[in-house]
């Protein structure tokens, strides 16, 4: 069922349209829908409660999927732009799609598309904000993990390790992977993405808490990422205090003016 058929099923029928290039959600019109060319604008305030509920489900299911794109007003992306980008993200997507819950596949596509835009040097803040509006905190976590390359460097190697550990039971390997995947996506236990607007003291407290929790669970490292010049200066300046408070060492520091990566690692057991 394509996007037009889904909208028709909830009582929004656009008989003259064969396709939708843009679908916008806006409160700036005085009727429920407005059509201009192949652009459809919907005012949810003019819909029934049932229609609003079902429209929300359509948005969540179609967000940046190859079947169509649902984005907020003034931040819409053409379906063609996403479809044209799909070949460059298919390789990693095709490997992960069989492993993650089906409901997360549109999120995967959205985050891979976000990473593609970031790698091109394009602004991704509006797109990331949309992903978080649709998928919440875990959507933001997925976007961060994807942008940092963890899909290829951590998730897929994790699955391969589980397959080697369960050579006669691939179902068990996948079940363990999904369990770990959900925990990581919901809690992001081994990576800290520092927001530019967060005070240094709060960043320090959160990293120390997470590092201590990781250590208690047998994970003896934490990766810290930051974007933007202010973040680079802030995170780099916190390293001595973080080492003192956690007993970890900054075993890797990669930075330039706009990006920083720090790996804190406990190489030996700290005596009480």
* CB proximity list for 154: less than 8 A, separation 6 or greater: 145
CATH topology of domain 189-272: Translation Initiation Factor IF3 (3.30.110)
Q: What is residue 25's predicted lDDT score, i.e. its pLDDT? A: 64
* CB proximity list for 99: less than 8 A, separation 6 or greater: 155, 159, 174, 177, 178, 181
Q: What is residue 58's predicted lDDT score, i.e. its pLDDT? A: 64
Q: Quick one: DSSP state of residue 103? A: G
Q: What is residue 261's predicted lDDT score, i.e. its pLDDT? A: 92
Nearest C-alpha neighbor of 71 from the set 26, 25, 38: 25
For residues 128 and 171, give the distance between their C-alpha atoms in angstroms, rounded to a whole number.
33
Q: What is residue 105's predicted lDDT score, i.e. its pLDDT? A: 82
Q: What is residue 250's predicted lDDT score, i.e. its pLDDT? A: 96
Give exposure, 232-241, as e/b (b: 16+ Cβ within 10 Å): bebbeebbee
For residues 189 and 164, give the distance between their C-alpha atoms in angstroms, rounded to a whole number.
24
Tell me the pTM: 0.63
Radius of gyration of the chain (CA): 22
Task: Please tell me the total number of residues recorded for the chain in this structure.
Answer: 272
Q: What is residue 224's predicted lDDT score, i.e. its pLDDT? A: 94
Tens digit of pLDDT at every position of the chain (272 positions): 566 777 778 787 777 777 765 566 666 667 787 777 667 777 777 778 888 777 766 655 454 444 334 444 344 344 445 545 556 677 888 899 999 998 888 788 888 888 888 888 888 887 888 888 778 889 899 999 998 888 988 899 889 988 988 889 999 999 999 998 998 898 888 889 888 788 999 999 999 999 999 888 888 999 999 877 888 999 999 999 999 999 999 999 998 887 899 999 998 654 54
Evaluated on CA atoms 174, 263, 193, 84, the torsion sign reads negative
Q: What is residue 100's predicted lDDT score, i.e. its pLDDT? A: 93
**H-type alpha helices, 35-169:** 49-62, 79-96, 105-119, 125-147, 150, 156-165
Q: Which residues sit opposite 252 in a β-bridge?
A: 263
């Amino acid at each position: 069922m394509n996007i037009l058929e889904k909208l028709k099923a909830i009582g929004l029928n656009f008989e003259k349209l064969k396709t939708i290039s843009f679908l916008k959600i806006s409160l700036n019109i005085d009727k429920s829908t407005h059509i201009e060319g192949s652009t459809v604008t919907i005012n949810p305030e003019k819909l029934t409660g049932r229609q609003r509920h079902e429209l929300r489900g359509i948005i969540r299911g179609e967000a940046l999927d190859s079947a169509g794109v649902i984005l907020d007003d003034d931040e819409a992306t053409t379906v063609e732009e996403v479809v044209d980008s799909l070949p460059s993200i298919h390789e990693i997507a095709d490997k992960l799609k069989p492993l993650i819950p089906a409901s997360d596949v549109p999120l995967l596509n959205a985050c891979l598309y976000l990473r593609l835009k970031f790698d091109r040097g394009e602004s991704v803040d509006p797109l990331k904000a949309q992903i978080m509006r649709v998928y919440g905190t875990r959507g933001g976590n997925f976007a961060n993990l994807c942008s940092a390359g963890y899909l290829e460097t951590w998730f897929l190697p994790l699955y391969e390790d589980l397959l080697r550990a369960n050579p006669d039971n691939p179902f068990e390997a996948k079940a363990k992977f999904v369990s770990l995947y959900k925990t990581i996506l919901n809690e992001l236990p081994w990576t800290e993405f520092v927001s530019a607007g967060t005070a240094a003291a709060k960043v320090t407290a959160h990293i120390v808490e997470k590092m201590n929790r990781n250590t208690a669970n047998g994970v003896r490292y934490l990766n810290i990422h930051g974007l933007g010049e202010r973040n680079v200066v802030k995170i780099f300046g916190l390293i001595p205090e973080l080492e003192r408070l956690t007993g970890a060492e900054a075993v890797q520091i990669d930075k330039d003016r706009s990006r920083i990566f720090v790996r804190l690692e406990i190489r030996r057991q700290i005596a009480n």
